Amino acid sequence: MAINLQRSMICHYFRRNLLPLLSLLLISAVASAQPDIKFKYKKSQLYSGIEVGSKGVKMSLVEVSRDNDNADFNILKDTSSNTDFISFDTETFTATVKAFAGLYLTAKNVYKIPSNRIFTVVSSGVKIQAVKFDKNDWIDRMIDSFRLAVNEPTREVDVVNVAEEARLSHLGIVPASKRYNTFLIDIGSGNTKGGYFPKNNTIDFKLFQLSWGTKSTANAAEKRIDGNFTLSAFHKQLYRVLEGSANDEIVYAINVSGAYNMSDNVAFSGGIAWSVATLISPDLIENPVVPVTYKEVEKFYDRIYKNYSSLSGEEIAKGLTDPTVNKEEVVKKVKVVNKVFDQKALLAGTGLLLKVMRQFEGIYERKQFYLVKNGQVGWVSAYVDRAISEENSNAKSK
């Protein structure tokens, strides 16, 4: 009875909301050719990853270039639709399915990406909230509605858990040559997660988690402010937050992880890593990863507080030393960073980043730190690896 009700609900929903959308997409697909995409690599393939996250649905078009054991990926397009699925109401459900199907059909019909090169997942954040509020069936219904909308009843839509998400990100971001000696830490807005492969295989993954993220750190500092909303007051309270409860948790979590002894490299991903990398090394604007030192980030933290105006697009472009770097591109990308992170958010995120880095800055042994800009699509790269392996094994069996 419940199943029949669910089916009829999906059919009703499909007729009412998706048919117009599908017609629109069909027309647009026929009318327009593949949009002009500027590829970075000489030999590469186009893939797409569509992820239903807590905030909304995100699509990334990724160009993947493979050279022996290394896969380099370049984000060609990154678009999202805020649907707020974790509210678990009819309106957000409809918006999520519409966005999910719309982005999938855009990738398939507009960008001409074959369906076996489009990966669709539901993130761990959604799964955690669904378990918390006993709404697991909403995820299943949303996936069924999506399959019906795109007319692919057998389409795979993985619902990944935290450990799997961190593992896939590691596999996708860190090159094979650094896989077993790199600790990957994803600093999100509300929390931090990551881990490493302790046993020289890609199955055993040591997960690392913190309840502190960029936004939660900034919020904790804001809460301590008593009426004085100046930058100096925020800076002072941020110091207290980072030296207090955040510090205790960070020191404990890193000690327990055992990552210090097992890793030569520590790579950071997430929004703050992307923004610091963009602002700290504008000469490497095209690079997906930027190596940094603790001292560089420490100096940058002071610069945010004391000389924030030097972090505008125009000011950063003035300091470029490489004559071959595209200044306009630098200005454009720095402006995006300035839009996403204001001075306080940048201070909070960089402060948290420094706090974690400090745990790896030994007197006798220094780790190499990296800031990863495109961490959000790391999982797509891992799926690409898996898809290629499957293609190869199928070819061999034939």
Partner 1 sequence: MKETRASILLFLSLMLFIFSLAILSFWGYHRYFKTADPAQSKISPVSKPAGEIIDPNVIAKRDSLENAYNETINRLGKKIDSSISYADSLRIPMNAQIEEYARLKKEVKELLNEKNRLQDLDLAKAKIEELQIKVNDLLAKYDMVVAENKRLVSVITEINEKQEADQVSVANVPVTQTSFDSNSAAEPPRPVRQSGLGFYSAYDLHLSAWTITDNKELETYKAYQADKFIGSFIVKNPNPPSSNNIEMLVVITAPDGHVIQKSPWESGTFETADGKNMIYSMKINFDYTKGEPKKLLFTLKADDFIPGTYTMQIFHNGAQLGKTTRVLN
Instruction: Give the residues lining the site for partner 1 (CB under 8 A).
Output: 42, 70, 72, 175, 178, 281, 283-284, 287-292, 319, 321-324, 364-366, 370
d(CA 241, CA 232): 14
d(CA 359, CA 247): 10
Nearer to partner 1, 156 or 314 (CB): 314
Residue 151 is classified by DSSP as T
Nearer to partner 1, 194 or 288 (CB): 288
Nearer to partner 1, 23 or 70 (CB): 70
Nearer to partner 1, 247 or 281 (CB): 281
Is-contact 86 134, C-beta < 8 A? no
Closest approach of partner 1 to the CB of residue 348, in Å: 25
Closest approach of partner 1 to the CB of residue 270, in Å: 17
Retrieve residue 143's tokens. 């996936």
In 3D, which of 40, 34, 86 has the Cα closest to residue 65?
40
Helices (H), the chain: 2-13, 19-31, 90-105, 124-132, 136-150, 162-173, 214-224, 231-243, 245-257, 259-262, 271-280, 294-306, 313-318, 327-340, 343-358, 378-397
d(CA 394, CA 398): 6
Closest approach of partner 1 to the CB of residue 265, in Å: 8
Closest approach of partner 1 to the CB of residue 288, in Å: 6
Residue with tokens 């896969």: 71
Nearer to partner 1, 144 or 283 (CB): 283
Closest approach of partner 1 to the CB of residue 117, in Å: 24
Closest approach of partner 1 to the CB of residue 220, in Å: 32
Closest approach of partner 1 to the CB of residue 289, in Å: 4
Q: Cα-flanking dihedrals φ and ψ of residue 366, to 5°?
A: -105, 140
Nearer to partner 1, 125 or 288 (CB): 288
Q: Cα-flanking dihedrals φ and ψ of residue 11, to 5°?
A: -60, -40
Residue with tokens 């069996």: 397
Nearer to partner 1, 300 or 383 (CB): 300
Contacts with 234 (C-beta within 8 Å, 6 or more apart), sequence order: 221, 222, 225, 344, 347
Q: CA distances (Å), 333 to each of 245, 285, 340, 375, 398, in order?
A: 34, 8, 11, 16, 47
Retrieve residue 253's tokens. 């979590």
d(CA 272, CA 84): 22
Nearer to partner 1, 238 or 276 (CB): 276
Retrieve residue 56's tokens. 């909304």
Nearer to partner 1, 57 or 267 (CB): 267
Sign of the alpha-carbon torsion through 107, 113, 116, 117:
negative
Closest approach of partner 1 to the CB of residue 325, in Å: 8
The one-letter amino acid at 295: K
Residue with tokens 């966005």: 99
Closest approach of partner 1 to the CB of residue 281, in Å: 5
Nearer to partner 1, 43 or 339 (CB): 43
Closest approach of partner 1 to the CB of residue 132, in Å: 37
Residue with tokens 């997430």: 270
